[in-house]
Chain A
Amino acid sequence: MNWWDDALHRATVEVLLCGALAGLVGVQVVLRRLSFFTMALSHATFPGVVAASIIGVNILLGGVVAGGAVALGVAALSRRRGQNAASATGVLLAAGFAVGTGLVATQSGFSRDLSSFLVGSILTVSAADLVITAMVLLLVGAVLVACARPLAYTGFDRTGAQAAGFATGVWDVVLLLTIETVVVTIVPAVGTILALALIVAPAAAARPWATRLSTLTVLAVVFGAVSGLAGLSLSTRWDIAAGASITLTATLLLAMSLLLAKTKEAQRGRQG
């Protein structure tokens, strides 16, 4: 039997790739305080994914279209003064989710799949899914490396970046679409509701231990992959949903990191 024919082997590779991908983009999400946007995005992909599976087209395509609409919508809203982007994002989040559940309800015999949209189904990934995730990982890595300067300048000093001639609005869209690509890619594996934790927790856990963006990114990728791997192994050992155990592992990692950072700070405070 081919090594790839084992569902658990494929799942192991998929969580490693998804964890790395989530950690990679999570750094940008955490630094730019885009957690809420990312959550709205993951919920907005939901109706797109459901609609795609009803129509019978690739569910990734459905997610890309719905998520892309939200990403561009938020980018447009945040450019207009007086608009409360957070409120608008919140409404989009709830509306997207409502449309998705509504669509699911119209289909009889669909309910079994609903939970796989919400918490993911890592054990059903195909070899083709793995290839797609690996390609997205390469693509997102390449985009973040190539665009590192304008993204960092915009995040650190927005007015300064504009004064230096960077079109910050364009770079915002590049970033939002990159986040969207990652969300759409990992949602089938870890689910709509849990994707946010895998994106935010590894980067937030890495945050206290890095003074450079490069170190922070490497740490977040490692933390993401470790969360995925440990979560999957816990789930197979105790037969709990993989998405849930991955999320809980990532959350535990974050809690431990913050606790350690606090302890270290307190010690330094006593010495100084």
Chain B
Amino acid sequence: MGDLAAAGAALRYTGASIGYHGTPVLTHVDLNLAAGRRLVLIGPNGAGKSTLIKSVLGLVPVLDGTATVFGQPPAQARAVTGYVPQTDSLDADFPVTTAQVVMMGRYRRIGWWRPTRAVDRRAVTQALDRVGLADRAGTQFGTLSGGQRQRALVARAVAAEARLLLLDEPFNGVDAVSQDAILTVLRELSATGTSLVLSTHDLALARELADQVCLLNGRQWAVGPPGEVLTAETLRRAYGRHAVDVSDGRTVLVEP
């Protein structure tokens, strides 16, 4: 952990191409995210947001250029990264309770066969409490609403005590209560030094949350503070007809 803390950058990508089986899905990625900062990935479906997140986890290879996570190759930094997948990638029929899902965040610390300790159970209780699901601990995960499921997955990442949290479209199909609960937790985590990477196509949310915004569409088009990147001109250059001007002079992204 010592040399990880010494490495100032949570993420450092230079000229990176990312893809499967030798075929790049996303190119020209240049990122430098300081530890404790918040990066929002913007782009329509298929832009490469999930691919970039999975490359940080070492699940999709960097084909060209370099990528490091806290100064290490991505796959070797998994001990300090936490992942919040899109809820529809899960098997909702699987018989696990909400508390058991959150406990999965502790597995890496416990090991795959050792019994859980008091500290693990406490971490699960606290994480459930932070996302407002303490009363749902014993409920089957699959019976939760979409927003509650997303909160449970955020709780799982909180319980993992990750230093870099990666969230793939955490606000997709999520009700307002859950969105507020998740945003509150993310701000708290950020305030205590956790780095965040979050993908969305909600530009308003990006403006509100991001220290840095990264525009993706098969390649990286722009990266920087939201005020510089989320301009009508840049958005139109990156997305063409997917960037649409709305009445109050703002631009929104629409799906094809």
Hey, which bits of chain A sit against chain B, CB under 8 A?
31, 81, 146-147, 149-150, 152-153, 155-157, 159-160, 162-166, 207, 210-213, 215-216
Does residue B252 face the partner (Cβ distance < 8 Å to A)? no
Kindly identify, within residues 35 to 92 of chain B, every residue whose CB is under 8 Å from any CB belonging to chain A: 54, 57, 59, 78-79, 81, 83, 85, 89-91
Kindly provide the distance from the CB of B103 to the nearest chain A CB, expressed in whole angstroms: 9
> How far, in whole Å, are A149 and B93 apart by their CA atoms in the complex?
17
Known: A160-B83, A164-B83. A216 touches B59 (CB 8 A): no
Alpha-carbon separation in the docked complex, A153 to B101 (Å): 8
- Which 10 residue pairs across A and B have the least CB separation, nearest first? A163-B83, A211-B140, A156-B94, A163-B57, A165-B78, A157-B90, A150-B112, A149-B112, A146-B113, A213-B95
Q: Across the interface, name the chain A residue whose C-beta is closest to B141.
A: A156
Given contact pairs A149-B113, A163-B78, A212 touches B96 in the complex (Cβ within 8 A): yes
Bound-complex Cα distance A230 to B54 (A): 51
How far is A149 from B113 in the complex, measured between Cα atoms in Å?
7
> Using Cβ atoms and an 8 Å threshold, which residues of chain B touch A163?
57, 59, 78, 81, 83, 85
Counting residue pairs across A and B whose Cβ atoms lie within 8 Å, the total is 80
- Distance A152 CA – B93 CA, assembled complex (angstroms): 12
Residues of A within 8 A of B101 (CB): 156
Question: B160 to chain A: which residues have CB within 8 Å?
Answer: 164
| B107 CB–A CB distance under 8 Å | yes
Contact of A147 among B91, B105, B112 (CB under 8 A): B112
A197: shortest Cβ distance to chain B, in Å?
A: 21
Q: Given that A146-B113, A165-B108, A211-B140 are contacting pairs, would A157 and B95 also be in contact in the complex, using a CB cutoff of 8 Å?
A: no
For B82-126 the 0/1 string (1 means CB < 8 A from A) is 010100011101111100110011011010110000000000000
Minimum distance in angstroms from B145 CB to a CB of chain A: 15
Question: B95: which of A31, A149, A160 is its contact (CB, 8 Å)?
Answer: A31
The size bracket of the interface on B is 20 to 34
- Among B85, B104, B156, max chain A CB count under 10 A is at B104
Question: Which residues in A have their C-beta under 8 angstroms from that of B83?
Answer: 159-160, 163-164
Residues of B within 8 A of A152 (CB): 94, 96, 100, 104
Q: How far is the CB of A127 from chain B (nearest CB, A)?
A: 34
Q: Residue-by-residue, is B17-50 near A (CB-CB < 8 Å gives 1, otherwise 0)? A: 0001100000000000000000000000000000
Residue among A149, A152, A212, A216 with max Cβ neighbours from chain B (10 Å): A149
With a cutoff of 8 Å between Cβ atoms, the chain B residues found around residue A165 in the complex are 78-79, 108
* Chain A facing B: main interface SS: helix
The CA of A165 and the CA of B162, in the complex, are separated in Å by 13
Which of the listed residues B20, B94, B141 has the most CB atoms from chain A within 10 Å of its own CB?
B94
Residue from B21, B91, B95 within 8 A of A212 (CB atoms): B95
Task: Tell me whether B107 and A212 are in contact (CB under 8 A).
Answer: no
Interface contact B94-A155, CB-CB below 8 Å: yes
Selected A-B contacts with CB under 8 Å, 11 pairs: A153-B104, A153-B107, A156-B101, A156-B104, A157-B90, A157-B91, A160-B83, A163-B59, A163-B78, A165-B108, A216-B95
How far apart are A271's CB and chain B's nearest CB, in angstroms?
17
A81 adjacent to B78 (CB under 8 Å): no
Closest Cβ of chain B: how far from A66's Cβ, in Å? 30
Nearest CB on B from A213, distance (A): 5
How far is it, in angstroms, between the C-alpha of A153 and the C-alpha of B83 when the chains are bound? 13
Contact with A164, one of B21, B97, B108 (Cβ below 8 angstroms): B108
Q: Which residues of the other chain, B, contact A157 by a CB distance below 8 angstroms?
A: 85, 89-91, 104
Task: Tell me the smallest distance from the CB of B146 to a CB of chain A, in Å.
Answer: 16
CB contact between A211 and one of B20, B85, B95, B112 (< 8 Å): that residue = B95
What is the bound-complex CA distance between A153 and B141, given in angstroms? Answer: 13
Closest to A206 in B: B95
Given contacts A149-B107, A164-B78, A164-B107, contact A156 B57 (CB under 8 A): no
Complex Cα distance A125/B34, Å? 68
Taking CB atoms, residues of chain B closer than 8 Å to A164 are 78, 83, 104-105, 107-108, 160
A211 in contact with B107 (CB, 8 Å):
no
Contact A160 B104 (CB under 8 A): yes
